[in-house]
């Protein structure tokens, strides 16, 4: 029995869980692989290891074509893609389904690309009929490339990439298709070649389970040929030498990110050669279903609580954006982090940070090195926080989460 004068226990001690949409949880094996002295960067084990990694990077993307690696984050590979795709004055059509589609547009515009944005809002998938009509209206084929996110990290909307490619084809338009997979890579099913994607960008810190600091651009042979004379390209961002180096240093235009590579090698082994990529996708599907089920139960009779994306077909399997109503999302995030050791993501892009409504949104990540007890534990902690903070919510969320995870 607890004495009435005793303080409430601090339940945050123990290993914390960072349930934000990147950086994701890093496996101990990845961290251990990085814990070593610096290697020779000119010959020997490191170049040999990298030569074996590049086929695996192609396999995770589902492509037989080119991959270029960069020392940088997701914003860096946006710039890498933009500078190789476009010349000054070229036109890009950006299809935005949340904050990060708009950010990619801003990145291209700042480089001198003419950018047209079709903004489909924060909670709805793109209207592919409108996209097809816009491209069909471009009789002179001014639009060189269509840019979009596979999963927008802020809204958690997942775009149907094969359907988008079909819409471009139906419009009779030759535009290249470039897809941001920064949030989805290694989490949501993605098949670059089968889906007709010309350029894919991703980074190390989410589904690839490696610290932030490496980014990748995969590009088709069609993209390589059609962008051969792009004049925004600079020596550092040039994807040609990085994808087809004659010397080891050309992979990064300088010194290799040695310890990231050791970590990435371990992560790719876990994804491709142990669990298997399709099993990785299935695991993320099950974890996502459990989170959706919990929110649906919490929101029953409490409409302030709900998922950002109504249709499960258009929801990310890597991250879930949700609302609790202001200020309860911020109250809950503070409680789970400081009282229980679980850090949830902020509701990025759903409202301005100086708007009181900003405090009504949050995100739950279930990407990368995450299993059943981690996701179910995070949901249990969230429910404990709702009880502690007296946030009204519907019953049965944990039972629903278990059933959704196990039974589908």
Place of tokens 């020997």: 44
Q: What is the pLDDT of residues 50-79, one digit of tens each?
A: 999 999 999 999 999 999 999 999 999 999
**What CA–CA distances, in Å, run from 187 to 37, 283, 386?**
31, 8, 29
- pLDDT at 2 > cutoff 90: no
Mean pLDDT of the chain: 96
> Once rounded to an integer, what is the mean pLDDT over residues 200-218?
97
What mean pLDDT comes out for the span 199-227?
97
Q: In angstroms, rounded to a whole number, what is the distance separating the alpha carbons of residues 19 and 373?
A: 13
pTM of the model: 0.95
For residue 240, the tally of other CB atoms under 10 A from its CB is 16
Tokens, residue 351: 């409202």
Residue 235 pLDDT > 80, yes or no? Answer: yes
The pLDDT, as a whole number, for residue 6 is 63
Q: How confident is the model at residue 5 (pLDDT cuts 50, 70, 90)?
A: low
Q: How many CA atoms lie within 13 A of 299 on its CB side?
A: 17
| pLDDT single digits (tens) 345-357 | 999 999 999 999 9
Strands (E), 241-399: 306-307, 319-323, 342-346, 361-365
pLDDT in the model for residue 328: 98
For residues 42 and 408, the model is more confident at: 42
pLDDT at 3: 58
Q: What is the mean pLDDT of residues 222-234?
A: 95
Sheet holding 342-346, edge to edge: 17-19, 342-346, 361-365, 319-323, 306-307
Q: What is the pLDDT of residues 129-170, one digit of tens each?
A: 999 999 999 999 999 999 999 999 999 999 999 999 999 999
DSSP H or E stretch at residue 343: strand 342-346
Kindly give the pairing relationship between strand 17-19 and strand 342-346: parallel
User: How many whole angstroms separate alpha carbon 273 and alpha carbon 257?
Assistant: 23
What whole-number percentage of the chain has pLDDT above 90?
94
Q: What mean pLDDT is predicted for residues 302-327? A: 97
- Report the alpha-carbon distance of residue 209 to residue 228 in Å, rounded: 33
Please state, in angstroms and rounded to a whole number, the distance separating the CA atoms of residues 192 and 207. Answer: 16
For residue range 101-127, list pLDDT tens digits in order. 999 999 999 999 999 999 999 999 999
Q: Are 176 and 222 in contact (CB under 8 A)?
A: yes
Confidence of residue 408 (pLDDT cuts 50, 70, 90): confident
Residue 13 confidence class, pLDDT cut points 50, 70, 90: confident
pLDDT value of residue 8: 75
Residue 123 in contact with residue 157, Cβ under 8 Å?
yes
How far is it, in rounded angstroms, from Cα 305 to Cα 325? Answer: 7
């Amino acid at each position: 029995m607890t004495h009435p004068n005793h303080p409430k226990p601090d339940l945050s001690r123990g290993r914390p869980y960072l349930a934000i949409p990147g950086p994701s949880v890093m496996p101990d094996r990845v961290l251990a692989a990085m814990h070593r002295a610096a290697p020779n960067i000119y010959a020997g084990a490191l170049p040999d290891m990298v030569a074996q990694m590049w086929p695996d990077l192609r396999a995770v993307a589902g492509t037989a074509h080119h991959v270029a690696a960069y020392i940088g984050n997701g914003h860096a590979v946006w710039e890498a893609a933009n500078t190789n795709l476009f010349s000054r004055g070229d036109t890009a059509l950006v299809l935005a389904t949340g904050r990060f589609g708009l950010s990619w547009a801003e990145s291209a515009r700042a480089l001198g690309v003419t950018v047209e944005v079709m903004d489909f809002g924060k909670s709805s998938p793109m209207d592919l009929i409108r996209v097809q009509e816009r491209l069909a209206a471009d009789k002179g084929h001014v639009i060189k490339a269509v840019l979009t996110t596979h999963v927008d990290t802020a809204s958690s909307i997942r775009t149907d990439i094969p359907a988008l490619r079909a819409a471009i084809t139906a419009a009779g338009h030759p535009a290249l298709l470039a897809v941001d997979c920064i949030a989805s890579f290694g989490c949501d099913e993605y098949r670059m070649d089968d889906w007709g994607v010309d350029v894919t960008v991703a980074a190390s810190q989410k589904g690839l389970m490696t610290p932030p600091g490496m980014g990748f651009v995969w590009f088709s042979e069609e993209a390589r040929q059609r962008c051969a004379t792009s004049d925004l390209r600079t020596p550092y961002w040039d994807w040609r030498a990085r994808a087809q180096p004659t010397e080891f240093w050309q992979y990064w235009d300088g010194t290799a990110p040695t310890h990231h590579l050791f970590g990435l090698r371990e992560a790719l082994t876990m994804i491709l050669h142990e669990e298997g990529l399709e099993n990785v996708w299935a695991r993320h599907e099950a974890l996502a279903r459990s989170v959706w089920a919990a929110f649906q139960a919490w929101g029953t009779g409490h409409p302030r609580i709900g998922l950002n994306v109504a249709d499960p077909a258009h929801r990310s399997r890597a991250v879930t954006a949700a609302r609790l109503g202001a200020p309860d999302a911020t109250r809950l995030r503070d409680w789970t982090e400081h009282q229980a050791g679980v850090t949830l993501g902020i509701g990025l892009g759903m409202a301005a940070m100086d708007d009181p409504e900003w405090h009504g949104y949050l995100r739950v990540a279930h990407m990368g090195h995450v299993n059943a007890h981690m996701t179910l534990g995070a949901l249990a902690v969230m429910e404990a926080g709702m009880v502690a903070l007296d946030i009204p919510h519907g019953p049965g969320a944990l039972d629903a989460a278990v059933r959704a995870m196990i039974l589908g």
